[in-house]
């Protein structure tokens, strides 16, 4: 299951409701990217959500 290594965001579950009010299960999946980040001065690959990338919680290695 996909999970952000920085903030811990993972799949959320809920119920899809149609116009006729029939209900079925659904999921919201986080926007996870595999990026190369600096951790303790060394570059490594990590699975990070786009919100953590945008807000600057991790620094990308080039």
Quickly state the pLDDT bin for 2 (edges 50, 70, 90).
confident
User: What's the pLDDT tens digit per position in 6-60?
Assistant: 999 999 999 999 999 999 999 999 999 999 999 888 999 999 999 999 999 999 9
Whole-structure pTM over 0.75, yes or no? yes
Taking Cα atoms as reference points, which of 50, 48, 57, 51 lies closest to residue 3? 48
């Amino acid at each position: 299951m996909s999970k952000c290594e920085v903030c811990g965001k993972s799949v959320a579950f809920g119920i899809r409701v149609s116009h006729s009010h029939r209900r079925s299960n659904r999921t919201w999946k986080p926007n996870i990217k595999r990026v190369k980040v600096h951790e303790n001065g060394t570059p490594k690959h990590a699975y990070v959500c786009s919100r953590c990338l945008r807000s600057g919680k991790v620094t990308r290695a080039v």
